[in-house]
Every structure is written in C-alpha cells, then in structure tokens.
Structure 1
C-alpha cells in the first residue's frame, strides 16, 4: 500500500546569514532522493544584496558597506535584511505534479493571501514577478485595470514581495521575500529586480499592525497549503 504524501514541513530558522543558508539549500537539494520530504524554510537575513545569474552590474548602484553575493537563482539584484520574511520552499515539483509556471503562480498567490489577512490588497504585474501594492490605496480592493503605461509600468505601485527561484532536477530552492517592517533605504542603492526607479514598501509603512513572527507563520502555512499534494 502506498501512503499519501504529506505536505511540506515548515521550519522557522530565524536570523541566519545569507551565504550559509544558500549553501544549505544547495546541499539539501543535491542530496535529495525521490522520497525526501519537502520543506519550507523561513529566514530573516542580515543585510545583503543578492545578484541573480543574469544580473547586470549596472543595477547595483552602490553597495557601500552591504555585501553582495552572487547566486544561481533567476532574476536581477535584490536586497534582504532584518524585518523581511524570506521563505525558501524546497519542493519536488515532479512529485507534486506541477510545472514552474504553476509553482510561481502558487508562490505569488500565497503572498496575496497573507497580505489579505493584513487587510492589504496585493497585485500582480504582467512580466514582472513578485507582488505590488497601490501606494495611494493599499487597502482598497479595486483590481488593476487595462495595460500598464508603457513608459512607467509601475506607476502608482510599490513592490512588497520579490521572487526568485532555482530548479534543479525538478526540485526548487530560493523563493520569495516579503517586506514586513524593515529599513528600506538599501533598496535605493539598487534598481530593485532590475527596474530603475521601482519603489519598495513594507507592511509597517502601509499601516498594517503585525510583526515578523506572525507574518512568517502565516506565509509558511499558506505556502504549505498551496504546495501540498
């Protein structure tokens, strides 16, 4: 008799250095077998800029005293720091029966539901992975309508969650970062995710009353539900 697969195990790691966590993700993924249970790691990093495999140097405007780490995820440069929940789903997509596009959709949908629990309405922008909010009405429920302005696709928006993934032998690592209550100034030293002038925001600046632990648990639970068989 074959037992049904269980959902991912959610592990709250707390404050961890980025480079060591990156190494641990790669080691976990390289050592996986078809029977290895899926996990979701929830982390808060010390200040660090991370550069994706296709990252362009011109998007790093001036790192200053913040280290820059080259990674093997997709996407351009982003920033991680205290007050941001970073979720690393370590998922066997083949076993789950989904492809990368569906996986990304589920990651984004989990973030949308966490924001909804805080009363915030998140939005997707076509061709720009991650989740955005209206800066003039983050609690309003109106959807984005029509095509975004070609000369300014992020007009009226700020990014609250960034996404970058890596797939190795159908297994995922890296993941999604949700801004809770952090110093946003380091984002001014980069073109976030490769978009000059893109604004960033966190839940605290929007007026949501919450904390890292609460949001981490909410995001972990949502991701586990969205990534279970």
Structure 2
C-alpha cells in the first residue's frame, strides 16, 4: 500500500515538476539547456541519500546481523547507482552546452565518477557466488568504506574549487525565487520516486530470499 501511495505521489509530482520546469521557471542566461539542471540536481541529491542509506544499513547489519538491513543496503545501492548514472548523463549534456565538452576532469565530476565506480563494484560484489552470510558481511564492510567518497563529492567544490555550478555558487548572486521553487518541487517529486523504488526493491529482495529458502528446503 505504501508503495502504491508513493507511486501515485511520484506521478503527480513529476507532472507538476515538468510544468514548473517548462512554464514556471524563467529561462536563464545560458538558455533553455539550463533547464536540465532541474533534473540533474534531484538525481544527484537522491543518489547521495541512497548511498547514505547504504552506509547506515551496513552499520546496522554489522551490529544486528539482520538480513533486513542487508536487503535495504542492496536496494539502496541499486537505486543510488541508477540515480547517479542519470546525474552523470544529464550533467554531461549540460556540460557540453555550457563548456563545449562532454566531460572535464574537474574535482566535483571526478569524485562523482569514482563514487559511481565504487558503488557499481559494490553491486557486482553482491552478485558474486558466495555464502549468503559471508557475502552480507563483506558487503556491509564495503558499504561503510565506500561512503568515504560521498562527503568528498559533496564538499569537493569548496575544498578544491570547481567549474561545476557548486563551485561558482559563492561568486553568483543566487537564483530567482521561481528557480528555487522548481528545485524544491523536483527534489520532492524525485523523492517520491526514490521512496517507491526503494520500498519496491526491498520487497522484491525479501520475496527472492523466501524463494531461495524454499528451494533449499526442497533440496533437503
């Protein structure tokens, strides 16, 4: 029921967000291409939230050894990699229009790409043939260690400077009010999408675990 409610809210939120993007938010100096920012930012933020959930769930698994936390960590990692992929793709399109290049080895972009590779590797590990308990333990440790890169992504622009808008924000006069409204609408809409996807995937993993247990019982 919770997933259905979140899915409905996500659909409504995305429609409202699209209206805000194309009809409410003003056109920036860089032109229409700037509007991809309203898709790029929510994907980036919810990717970081996903990896924080992986971090917390991994810690809880180490302390309680409850498979629920392992499933939450796995589901959050999958959703996080998806959102991070969308953030990198939309960011590349935006970069091509703004900078004339699809990619720059900028501190912000580089740490984000490293983060993507680390969590993609985490997902590969989760699908390797290994005992369930041992795999959950190894993944929990990696889920904690992998999070070390997440604060670097968040603070890289302030630490090392960046061509990314985060690095230029300190020099700008700020966005218009309607732009901020569109940003927050996008964060809310993508938040509903994120919640629906996460809960759905956790339930799928729980069903998969039950089926595996049934097959093991039948073999015995």
Q: Relative contact order (C-alpha < 8 Å, sep 6+): which is higher? A: 2
TM-score greater than 0.5 by the shorter chain:
no
The TM-score normalised by the length of structure 1 is 0.26
The answer to which structure has the higher helix fraction is: 2
Larger fraction in strand: 1
Q: Normalising by structure 2, what TM-score?
A: 0.26
Task: Give the number of the structure whose alpha-carbon radius of gyration is greater.
Answer: 2
